[in-house]
Each structure stands twice: as structure tokens, then as C-alpha cells.
Structure 1
Amino acid sequence: MSDSSRVLNRRTFYKGDVIFNEGDYGNQAYVLQSGRVRITKSLPGGARGTLGFVEASGIFGEMALIDQSKRMASAIAEESCVCIVITEDLLKKKLGNADPGLKMLILMLIRLLRQAASKTPLPADDIAAMARAANSAEHAAALRAEKGN
């Protein structure tokens, strides 16, 4: 049995179950083995809008797990679902030896997705913070040099 298969676990959700809520901190992501999940976001006035659906083999909840921010949408089981749970420990183990530049790129892409979803500007200082979060002193120094700091 591989290390990954010992760490992975599965969860079953039934139609209507809330898998996670918008605004929650995320310490898990999910790979959908079977079923269908609706991804929703709150709208002005208290309504909820559907951003899309996740089908079998799709992944969801990964952004909050990777960048340790609040979830930007909710996930609700549209029908009975079986999910593989990706924990924070497993992600750290898998990304622990990854190139710092790659980690920074992943964090930047997630931040840009969040920015596009919220339509708020991305402060330049956040780029340096993402580089530090990725344990990449070289990249942070390069970014500071580009900014003239």
C-alpha cells in the first residue's frame, strides 16, 4: 500500500448535504469519485447563485486548502456523492519538496482567481507576501528589486 493510499479517506454526502460553506476556512479539498456537486455563491440581497457543477473526477475546495484563505463559494451535494478527501497534511507532504517558484506560481494563480471572482484590485505587496508564503526568499528578493524596494 502506498503512502498516499494510507492517508486518503473517503466521505459520502447525500443529496442536499452542505459539504462546505462560503466563508469557512478550508483544511480539506475533495476529489469527486461519484455524484454531482453544485458550487454556489451568495449574491446581493441574500440570494444564492450557481457558479457551476463538479462531476465525477473533478476537484473542488482546493483553493482554500492551498492558500489557507476562506472559501469563496459553497459546495452542496446535488445527489449522493463519494469524495476522496485531500487533507492539509497530505498537501503539505506532496508540496513540501516542490520548487519554491512553482509554489509561488500556484499561490499567485489562486490569488488571481480570487481577485477575478471578487473584482477587487490585487495590491503589489501581496505578491511579495505570496513569495514569502512559498518559502522562496530568492523570488521575494527579485520581486522587491523589480518594485524598486
Structure 2
Amino acid sequence: MTLIMYQDFLKRTALLKGLSECQLDQLSAKLVRRQYKKGEVVFSEGQKAEHLFFVYQGRVRLYKSSREGKSQTLQLFSSSGVFAEVPALEGGFFPAHCEAIENTTLLLLKRQALLSLIQKDSELALNMIAILASRLRAFSNTIADLTLKETDVRLANYLLQLSHVQGNEALIRLDLSKPVLANSLGTSRENLYRVIDKLQHQAVIDMDGCYIKIINYSALKMLAEENNL
């Protein structure tokens, strides 16, 4: 992979918005490329944080796990996503686990290189603040969803968001496996299947493999708006 390809990729990331060609060239030269197979651990909770991560291709999830073996997905990152900013800045330890949920290529930037760039460029520092603020809002919404909303409401919100991203209100393709989706929604696979069956019985949706046909968009939207703060 050439530095030009790295630079083209970096231009698409929100964190590096506004950086000059020269700065992107310098940054590209410091990136380390690593590949992970589906299910492979990227880092574990408590591990020393020494890098910032860019998702070049694929998808990863950050999650917490209990002593009983249960896990809760915190966030998902796909192509052009950036993660582990806070531990990389602090130089501390990762507060959660990270694994690839499909074959994934990551670009790693060492902590010292990141700090050097921030010290030299106020634009990068402002971008970092904006991303962290957005991340905080997302966590706040996730906590509200998991504590105040039922599984069917959370699923309806997810389907509507996916519909918006894919630009289709009639047919959408699930971008997560059902086990990962259930974990992201804070429920079990069995409960997720029950909710899907209920929505199919109510003629709100119809599932065929990884595709979901939205039969009654208005009903799905009304369900998603239940318990909104």
C-alpha cells in the first residue's frame, strides 16, 4: 500500500479535516498497517494504550465483558472510523476490549506521533475535541437506550437509522450479524428473535436472511419514538 493511498484515505477521516498535503504526507509515513481476521482481538481491557487506530477496511467493535462471560457492545467502527483517542492521548490503559467483527485492516499511529501533530496544528486539536464531544453524546444516547427503552424500541431505532444510511425506506440489508446486533441492542439473541417475530406478526417488517422489508414504515417510526426523552 503506497503513501498516496494512505493520504487519500486520511483525507476522508473527520479527525484530519483541514490538514495540508504536507502534513498528510508526514502522517502517512508514520502509519503502521495491521490486518485482523474476523473474531481476532485488537486489544484487551487493561492493555497499555500506545496507538491511535484508523479503520482502513472492515469493522471492529469495542465492548466490555463481565466475569460471567457476558459482553456489552459499546461502539462499532467501520471504514474511515477512528478510535482509542482518549487512551492514546492519556497514555493510560484501554478501558474496554476491541475485536474485529469481520476481516479488517487497521492503520496505527503511535501516541508520540499523535501528540507531536496536535502540538503543531490547532486544527487537529479542534477536530479531536469535536469528535470526543460527538462520542460523548453517542455514549449518553446509548446509556439512555439501554436503561430506558425496550428491545423492540431499540430495534426500531436501529432499523430506521440503517434505512436512512442506505437511503431506502422499503428494503434494508442488516450490516451486523444477529449475535452482534443483539449484543449491540443490549439483549440476548433469543429475545431479539422474539421481537423480530412479533414485528413480523404485526406486519411491520418481514425478514428474509439478512434483508428486512419494511412493510409499515409509519408503525416502525411510531415504535421508535416510544419512551423518547
TM category, shorter: 0.5 to 0.7
Q: 2:91 aligns with which of 56, 62, 68?
A: 68
Which residue of the partner structure matches residue 72 of structure 2?
A: 49
1:14 is the counterpart of 2:37: yes
Q: Aligned equivalents of 2:43 and 2:27: distance in 1? A: 24
Q: Aligned equivalents of 1:36 and 1:10: distance in 2? A: 15
User: Could you state the TM-score of these two structures normalised by the residue count of structure 2?
Assistant: 0.42
Please state which structure has a larger fraction of its residues in helix. 2
CA offset at residue 97 of structure 1?
A: 3.0
Q: Aligned equivalents of 1:52 and 1:6: distance in 2? A: 28
Which residue of the partner structure matches residue 84 of structure 1?
A: 107
CA offset at residue 40 of structure 1?
A: 0.8
CA offset at residue 12 of structure 1?
A: 0.8
Which residue of the partner structure matches residue 133 of structure 1?
A: none
Larger RCO, structure (CA 8 Å, separation 6 or more): 1
Per-residue displacement from partner, 1:45-71 (whole Å, max 9, x unpaired)? 442211131111111122110111211
Percent identity between the two aligned chains: 28
Q: Aligned equivalents of 2:94 and 2:32: distance in 1? A: 21
Q: Aligned equivalents of 1:12 and 1:65: distance in 2? A: 20
Q: Aligned equivalents of 2:82 and 2:96: distance in 1? A: 14
Indicate the SS of the match to 1:63: helix
Which structure is larger by alpha-carbon Rg, 1 or 2?
2
Q: 1:95 aligns with which of 118, 133, 150?
A: 118
Which residue of the partner structure matches residue 49 of structure 2?
A: 26
Which residue of the partner structure matches residue 134 of structure 1?
A: none
Deviates more, 1:29-38 or 1:39-48: 39-48
Which residue of the partner structure matches residue 59 of structure 2?
A: 36
Indicate the SS of the match to 1:26: coil
